[in-house]
Amino acid sequence: MGNIIDGKSIAAGVVLHICNETRSFSERTGLRPGLAVCIVGDNPASAVYVRAKEKRALEAGFTSRVIRKADCTQAELLEQIDALNEDSEIHGILVQLPLPAGFSERAVIERIAPHKDVDGFHTENSGKLSCGIDDGFVPCTPLGCLHLLRRHHASLGAKIEGKNALIIGRSNIVGKPMASLLLGENATVTIAHSRTRDLADICRASEIVVAAVGRAGYVKGDWIGEGAVVIDVGINRTAAGRLVGDVEFSGAVIRASGITPVPGGVGPMTIAMLLWNTLLSAHRSCSLAEPDLLLDC
């Protein structure tokens, strides 16, 4: 179908661009961008995500360091972060969430030096994003969604500016930063959440819909306006073990001008943007001009 926004192949193009920029960075500086990922506990989904991040980082020519702690205290994790903050080979640090019960995720995130916080979750980086200051880091999932939206609009000769955009979900990692990014594009932004009334009507009036709820098929196909662009962030597993998004795909795809599938939509873009943020951080650490995330890469 011509209206599928193929995140998998777009992410592959972004990763290729990152590989080329990494090669040129390494030739100029003799360094590699370095990404460190800390994982605590035994969450199987987290282990899969971390392995994927490690694999992609190595493929891109980065140094990848994974610190696996089956069991540790919060104080030990903070010490580990302090060491990574000081490590000149490491440009990006992330702590895989969720952390085991008893950890303060906020305290752990705040310990990461903001200039190495490539997940963009530190309050200094979220503050910069909401103030429109562009020398911080933008969280990877919304950054990936924005790239997909920009590309899709450009391919139609259309603009995001002035569009009515609905974001369903107000989390700190997806919904809120997505709202800041779309405001930055001059869209008119509505954020819906669990207490929102008349969501179906709001959705039908929206030209861009970003669904980040975490409930399989929650957004019904007939909520999607004719020609709307739909970005489905949700990752949900059905009882039969199939991965599906938050949007009822079969009903939405016949109305939307563009829609991301699950899997193969936003997910691959998230890892690509993590590498992108780490590459930016490496450039900043050497006071080099930052590369551009080209729309046609």
* Active-site annotation holds for 53: yes
Considering the complex, what minimum distance in angstroms separates the CB of residue 4 from ligand NAD? 16
Which C-beta is closer to ligand NAD: that of 112 or that of 199?
199
φ, ψ at 208 (rounded to 5°)? -130, 130
SS3 244: strand
Q: Please give the residues from 165 up to 184 whose contact with ligand NAD meets the rule CB under 6 A.
A: 168-171, 173-175
Phi-psi region of 269 (alpha: psi -120 to 50; beta: other; left: phi over 0): alpha
Q: Applying CB under 6 A, does 234 fall inside the site for ligand NAD?
A: yes
Q: How far apart are the first and last CA of the chain?
A: 22
Q: Please give the residues from 55 up to 74 whose contact with ligand NAD meets the rule CB under 6 A.
A: none
Neighbour tally for 277: CB within 10 Å: 26
Which strand ranges, in their side-by-side order, compose the sheet holding 92-95?
A: 63-69, 34-40, 92-95
Considering the complex, what minimum distance in angstroms separates the CB of residue 174 from ligand NAD? 4
Which C-beta is closer to ligand NAD: that of 60 or that of 72?
60
Query: Which residue in 206, 270, 277, 281 binds ligand NAD (CB under 6 A)?
Result: 270
Residues 6 or more apart in contact with residue 131 via CB below 8 angstroms: none
Considering the complex, what minimum distance in angstroms separates the CB of residue 218 from ligand NAD? 6
Per residue, the 3-state secondary structure of 147-202, as one string, reads HHHHHHHHHHCCCCCCCEEEEECCCCCCHHHHHHHHHHCCCEEEEECCCCCCHHHH
Which C-beta is closer to ligand NAD: that of 257 or that of 270?
270
Which C-beta is closer to ligand NAD: that of 112 or that of 273?
273
SS3 291: coil
* Active-site annotation holds for 96: yes
Query: Which one of the listed residues 117, 119, 232, 246 is annotated catalytic?
Result: 119
Considering the complex, what minimum distance in angstroms separates the CB of residue 246 from ligand NAD? 6
Which C-beta is closer to ligand NAD: that of 150 or that of 170?
170
User: Does the N-terminal peptide bond of residue 142 adopt cis geometry, omega within 30 degrees of 0?
Assistant: no
* Active-site annotation holds for 74: no
Considering the complex, what minimum distance in angstroms separates the CB of residue 244 from ligand NAD? 10
What are the angstrom distances between the C-alpha of 88 and each of 83, 100, 116, 281? 10, 29, 11, 12
Q: Please give the residues from 194 up to 233 whose contact with ligand NAD meets the rule CB under 6 A.
A: 194, 196, 199, 212-214, 233
What is the DSSP code (8-state) at residue 247? B
Q: Which residues are catalytic, by number? A: 53, 96, 119
* Residues in touch with ligand NAD (CB under 6 A): 141, 168-171, 173-175, 192-194, 196, 199, 212-214, 233-236, 266-267, 270
